[in-house]
Amino acid sequence: MRPFVRLIWKEARELLRPRYILPILLLPLIFIGMGQGFSGVEAQLGQEPTVGVVDRDGGEYGEVVVETLDERAELAYRSTDGSVDAALNETTAAGGSAVVEVPANFTERIRAGERGRVHLYTSVESVSIVGIASSAQVEELLSASAHNVTVAVTGASEAQLDPIERDHTTYVKGRQLSAPPGVISAAFTSQFIFVPVIIMLAIVFSGQMVMNSMASEKEHKTLETLLTMPIERRSIVAAKLVGGSVVGLVATALYTGGIALSNLSIGDVGDTAALTLGAGDYLLVGVSLFFTLVGTLAVALSLGIFADSQQGAQMLLLPLSGLAIVPMFATMFTDVDVLGLPARAALFAIPFTHPIIAPKRLLFDDVDLVLAGIAYEVVFAVAAVWFAVKLFESDRPITGNAGWLDRLVRLVQQ
């Protein structure tokens, strides 16, 4: 028993090197940072914009525009004859980015039955989501100004200008939400666009970690020495998998914790209670990801036997990465339920699909599919472990020959 424990410690110590463990530690932090960043963007865009205004009109309708801007935004600059350059400089110094100029004939044109015209000057120094979106907020202010001018000109009431009051009820997979589809779609996009990416990277990094470890052992001839020791090869495989699984368990806890801290939910949609994942849901996501990682480690261990160097290991990792990338893109841009039967069957046949779709499925209480996916991942992990054991018990680790399979793998590495 002691030699087996030593083997496990050897594998765990090998996999816990900084070059392997740092990506595992950084990914959840990146994920949490992205979630917090988007929350910060939404909070910042929810604040009143800072604008400047140059009212050269002085008429009643020009005053309506200025009053609307004053009510809905923070006026950093207000003048009747100042230059636009001075207005922009003062406004940008106060944290704003736009100046509205009301021409001298604004009220006169509207009284003549023509359309009044304003000029919007925008200075975008930050080419980012916040920089562009905050500038677009001023367009909403001008729309509100146009509405108020219409009220002033026509004397119409709000009910006359907008006689239809809208109520929204949207059904999403049988769940009733009192919100427009666009609001729900935006919530889904902001909450779930990075989940498939993070899970895909978790799978790829875990496989890369084991394959690089195996390639390093082959380069330093330690694998051959290990195979000549009086230890069953099944024990060697078991030790490598247990050591890798311990690291995989830590990675699973970190990734699941990162997803949980990002607070996956569809909240604040109308008067309906938020759709939020519970503790049991996150546990199922973690179990799904863990068995996927175990299967990935076993497959990577098998492929690592064929790697003649760490560069060759990177090439052998490409098919594994491709299988993880396909469900990532498929679930980001569509729903598996709307796909045809062949495409859906192909996606479900890829083990990496199930942990990627698990959070979204659990959000709508589709537990049965998640449990079925976990069962499939268990079968995949057992089959991958069995293949790794058979491969280690063959002559391939010693002779370096595995027939047609070896020729195929060498072709990939070239």
> What DSSP string describes 354-393?
HHHHHHHHHHTT-HHHHHHHHHHHHHHHHHHHHHHHHHHH
Helix/strand/coil for 76: strand
Q: Are 237 and 345 part of one and the same domain?
A: yes
Q: Are 182 and 153 part of one and the same domain?
A: no
Which residue is it, tokens 């179990």?
287
Q: Are 152 and 182 part of one and the same domain?
A: no
Q: Are 246 and 374 part of one and the same domain?
A: yes
| Any domain includes 296 | yes
| Any domain includes 173 | no
What's 88's domain CATH number? 3.40.1710.10
Q: Are 131 and 244 part of one and the same domain?
A: no
| Any domain includes 193 | yes
Q: What angle do CA 368, 244, 384 make, to 5 degrees?
A: 55
pLDDT score at 374: 92
| Any domain includes 139 | yes
* pTM of this structure: 0.63
Which residue is it, tokens 């500038």?
135
One pLDDT digit (tens) per residue for the chain, 414 residues? 566 667 667 666 666 666 666 666 666 666 666 655 555 555 555 567 888 899 999 888 999 988 988 888 888 888 888 888 888 888 888 878 888 899 988 999 998 888 888 898 887 765 555 555 566 677 788 888 888 888 888 888 777 777 877 777 777 776 777 777 776 766 666 556 667 777 777 777 777 777 777 767 766 667 666 667 667 777 777 777 777 777 767 776 776 676 666 655 555 544 444 566 777 888 888 888 888 888 888 888 777 777 666 666 667 777 777 788 888 887 777 777 778 888 888 888 888 888 888 887 887 778 888 899 999 999 998 898 888 887 777 766 655 555 545 555 555 445
Q: Which two tokens stand for residue 332?
A: 């980001």
CA nearest neighbour of 129 among 169, 173, 189: 189
Those residues whose C-beta lies under 8 Å from the C-beta of residue 163, and which sit 6 or more positions away, are none
Kindly write down the DSSP assignment for every residue of 118-160, as one continuous string: -EEEE-----SHHHHHHHHHHHHHHHHHHHHHHHHHH---HHH
| Any domain includes 13 | no
| Any domain includes 92 | yes
Q: Are 106 and 202 part of one and the same domain?
A: no
Structural domain harbouring 227: 178-413
The Cα–Cα gap between 212 and 142 comes to 58
The Cα–Cα gap between 370 and 351 comes to 12
Instruction: Among 106, 123, 157, identify where a domain stops.
Output: 157
Structurally, the chain folds into a number of domains equal to 2
Q: Are 112 and 188 part of one and the same domain?
A: no
